[in-house]
Structure 1
Amino acid sequence: MVDLPNVNRTFLDHPDLEKLNSPGSAHPPRVLLLYGSLRERSYSRFLAEEAQRLLHEFGAETRMFNPSGLPLPDDAEADHPKVQELRELSQWSEAHVWVSPERHGNMTGIMKTQIDWLPLSVGGVRPTQGRTLAVMQVSGGSQSFNAVNNLRILGRWMRMITIPNQSSVPKAYQEFDEAGRMLPSPLYDRVVDVMEELVKFTLLLRDRSEYLVSRYSERKAED
């Protein structure tokens, strides 16, 4: 046995291989989509809606949260109806899609407000831990990755499993028609790739997420 004098072996986790190899859930992947703009012609919403159509094609069940009316954090209590709606959707979900415009080199305040209302834990429930996450952004100018990079930081902080692929749509006003549908292009193909990858990662990980995010330090502290 390896000498680990500072480790309490009682709380070391060893995989139950039989459980990990057992058949997984049979229901469609449950995906929550968040977008970061309230404009009437919102390209982040258009991109989220396009992602939603693709997710349906890949067999997922989806919900999209409308951030209109969501109060700023600390400007309302957690029992506010919009806050409760958001938290219930997050608990229902197994995966998230976050789509933000880039504003002043970062995600919008609307996007950040939604994430800020999702706590790391509520009683014994963790609304985001172990869920898969896809991040995308739209820009009014040339291609940038500032928003998606910062969304990845938030995903890690929320203890989510962010998939490797991502999408950044530059000059978004050129990429959608009058009805808000994304036009055919390599940028659109990339969105298809991202949604396909999200569904694959969700199917692979959703029944193992509790094991993947279990931490020695937390098991020890909870004893």
Structure 2
Amino acid sequence: MSNDLPNIDPDSLHQPDTDLLSLSGEPSHPPRVMMLYGSLRERSYSRFMTLEAKRVLEALGAEVRVFDPAGLPLVSDSEEAHPKVQELRELSLWSEAQVWCSPERHGAMTGVMKTQIDWLPLAPIGGVRPTQGRTLALMQVCGGSQSFNTVNQMRILGRWMRMITIPNQSSVPRAFAEFTEEGRMKSSPFYNRMVDVMEELVKFTLLTRGRAAYLVDRYSERVESAEELSKRVNVRSI
């Protein structure tokens, strides 16, 4: 180790390992995708869009599970054992990719959407973080003209949750005009963009799964004890 790096622990600074980036045994199961939507309304366009995207993902060979946020409590320490919280966390641990789709409300994501994300901790559950290293696609529906406030906000959260957020995203303006009475998305450039996003998500997931743990392996965490790491990332210690 060079003397020019006196603050470095040489045993914790690892050279990039190309063997770990070109696996000999690729995972062969279908990509596992968890989907979240941000509205409890009976006629929820974020749910309609999520279900439309689910059909596309399944056509692309993915295994998809959609979380229903109805009954999910607001975030508190005392509610961690709540069945809906446990269901959400188990789905996130199962997933290799996620899709977040929220309406835009007052220029931001909805409280329903944020509550779901807030229940996913940075701290490991059973030794595994529920979001780190997973790919993420973002979509929003708008009641009026097109904006990107919500997807941009969720992109910040995805980065904070240490997810691999894909470049493409979807924003549907005047959502009430883009879906049939039965809740199916009409053919349009907005539909085509949604397909683009799902296709890109599957590609990025196939590219990174099996390698995600290595891609997010960090020097700063290798020099920390497990106890120190847990204290630093656990919001309850703040």
Give the alignment's TM-score, normalised by structure 2. 0.91
List alignment gaps of at least 5 residues for structure 2: 227-238
Aligned pairs, how many? 223
Using the alignment, how far apart are the partners of 2:147 and 2:207 within structure 1? 30
The match for 1:138 is 141
Shift of 1:75: 7.3
1:80-159 alignment runs, 5 A limit: 80-121=82-123, 122-159=125-162
Deviation string 1:138-191 (CA, Å, 9 cap, x unpaired) is: 000000000000000110111001000000000000000011110011110000
2:222 aligned residue = 219
SS in 2 for 1:152: helix
Aligned counterparts of 2:20 and 2:122: Cα–Cα separation in 1: 26
Cα contact 2:96–2:135 (8 A) shared by 1: yes
- 5 Å-filtered alignment, 1:67-82, equals 67-74=69-76, 76-82=78-84
Give me the whole-angstrom Cα distance separating, in 1, the residues matched to 2:79 and 2:173.
Answer: 37
Amino acid aligned to 2:143: G
Deviation per CA, 1:44-100, whole angstroms, max 9, x where unpaired?
000000110000011000000000000000174201000000000000000000000
Q: 1: distance between equivalents of 2:107 and 2:20?
A: 45
Kept after mapping to 1: 8 A contact 2:137/2:168 = yes
What is the CA-CA distance between 1:24 and the residue it aligns to? 1.3
Residue 235 of structure 2: aligned partner: none
Secondary structure of 2:102's counterpart equals: strand
What amino acid maps onto 1:94 in structure 2?
E
Amino acid at match of 1:39: R
User: Does residue 5 in structure 1 map to residue 31 in structure 2?
Assistant: no
**Aligned amino acid, residue 208 of structure 1:** R
Q: Distance in 2 between matches of 1:162 and 1:20?
A: 19
2: CA distance between counterparts of 1:81 and 1:123?
A: 17
What is the DSSP-based 3-state SS (H/G/I as helix, E as strand, rest coil) of the residue aligned with 1:10?
Answer: coil
CA distance in 2, matches of 1:212, 1:189: 31
Written as runs of structure 1 = structure 2, the 5 A alignment for 1:30-49 is 30-49=32-51
How many angstroms apart in 1 are the aligned matches of 2:79 and 2:192? 41
Q: Distance in 2 between matches of 1:203 and 1:215?
A: 22
Question: Contact 2:100–2:136 at 8 Å: present in 1 too?
Answer: yes
Asked if the contact 2:20–2:214 (Cα under 8 Å) also holds between the matched residues in 1, the reply is no
Any runs of at least 4 consecutive aligned residues in structure 1 with deviations exceeding 6 A, and if so which? none
Partner of 2:212: 209
Alignment match, 1:167: 170
**Structure 1, unpaired ranges of 5+:** none
- Give SS of 1:221's match: coil
Per-residue CA deviations over 1:164-219 (Å, capped at 9, x if unaligned) read 00000000000000111100111100000000000000000011111111111100
| CA distance in structure 1 between the partners assigned to 2:166 and 2:69 by the alignment | 24
What is the TM-score normalised by the length of structure 1?
0.97
1:177 to 177, 180, 183: 180
Aligned-partner Cα distance in 2 for 1:66–1:9? 47
- Aligned identity (percent) is 70
